[in-house]
Amino acid sequence: MIARGMGRAYGDAALQPLGVVSTERLNRFMEFDTTQGIIRAQGGVSLAELMAITIPKGWMPYTIPGTRYVSLGGAMACNVHGKNHCRAGDFAEHVLSIRLVTPSGEAVECSPQRNPNLFWATAGGMGMTGIIESVTMKLKPIRSASLAATTYRVDSLEDMVAAFENYKDTADYMVGWIDHMAKGDDVGRGIFEAANHIKPEDGGAALEKFTMDDPKITIPCYIPSFVLNRYVMAIYNRLRFKKYSAWRQAEIIDFNTFFHPLDRLGHWYRLYGRQGFFQYQALFPETHDVVTQMRTFLNAIQKKNLFSYLAVIKYHRDGKGPMTFPVRGYSIALDFPNTRRVRAVLPQLDRWISDHGGRVYLAKDAMLTPDLFHTMYGAQSEDWVRYVRAADPEKKFTSLMSQRLEWK
């Protein structure tokens, strides 16, 4: 069996034909210290539910991924990251302890100090160590429910990287959007955005009025796959690029718009049709030629006659634990249509990333092979596999991903 939170992993991490344990009813809050900003909740509580309670009290998670519909257990199992990874690190770095139901059936309290090997094997361990029954985490203090954002257009990949370098020591959050339809010298152009928390006296929205807004529009059914094609996306990308100028545009933006723009569109995944899509996130270590490597990677995708609906770039610091995804460098996340051509090319991209010292994010992986997994994640991954095999010799917790990667 395998535990399943809200089913937002993009690959086969929470799929197991023999049995899936839903944590949807593990959705209770047990304790919230509003003075210290420490909260304890069951593993099935979503980030949306948590933030609806904590933000009006002046606290929020240090790390927020691209969707708020992620369970706390899933966030820990995938060790998610956000737009502030270079400042705040991974989700697990702010978890004080977890209560884990292990393969033996025993409920174990573990933290970086107590049963640390089990704690870090669970962080990013994709559910192999058991079911996360509860999570105790430290929250970040905030004064308002708004951010001061600076957004501007960059004309090249070099300019995009320079923007991250310029803001990495001062911005709370940074993210870049790449126009993946651009060709030639324009490859890597896009929009860069940096944001900082602000106080109410600087124009920030009052905390007590914060709510998790409902989607403004809901996609009622699956859209035929031919509708969202490369030509439509080329027009969208061009319009979005032209919307901004090289002049830095400052604005005050609310939390929901900045952190989770896609969640404001109900059932947004239906836009990709019934065939769905592959989200693929690759990390490029920060080396002297990282820009060249990213440009070569993006050009190679275009030469394979593929296109990505969206392309997002982030800057990372080194993560913690044997199964952490980030190392210091840049990641690019791409959304590919689910086609035969894409399925044929993704293994080639995995090989290229591996050969250049990078890695792919397991929560967004569907086709990685065992040998490339170990090459990407290094000797620590081999130690981790031995650890989870010893802890679960009867293979009680397995998934299609663990079987594909031969973890157990």
pLDDT band for position 235 (50/70/90)?
Answer: confident
- Has residue 232 got a pLDDT over 90? no
Q: How many distinct helices (H) and strands (E) make up the chain?
A: 12, 18
> What pLDDT score does 58 carry?
97
Going along the chain from its start, the domains and CATH numbers come out as 2-143+373-404 (3.30.465.10), 146-367 (3.40.462)
Residue 112 · residue 104 · CB < 8 Å? no
For 148, residues 6+ apart whose C-beta sits below 8 A from its C-beta are 195, 196, 198, 202, 203, 250, 251, 252, 253
> What pLDDT score does 241 carry?
86
Alpha-carbon dihedral sign for residues 236, 241, 242, 243 = positive
> What pLDDT score does 167 carry?
97
How far apart CA 7 and CA 11 sit, in angstroms, is 10
- Has residue 227 got a pLDDT over 90? no
- Has residue 116 got a pLDDT over 90? yes
**Edge to edge, what strands does the sheet with 311-316 contain?**
249-254, 146-154, 190-197, 173-178, 311-316, 329-337, 277-285, 359-360
Tally of CB atoms within 10 A around 378: 12
What value does the mean pLDDT take over residues 345-373?
97
Could you read off the pLDDT of 335-356 as tens digits, one per residue?
Answer: 999 999 999 999 999 999 999 9
Q: Give the residue from 19, 12, 59, 20 showing the smallest Cα distance to 36.
A: 59
What value does the mean pLDDT take over residues 164-184?
93
> What pLDDT score does 271 carry?
87
Span between the terminal Cα atoms of the chain, in Å: 13
> Tokens in use for 91?
């989700």
- Has residue 180 got a pLDDT over 90? no
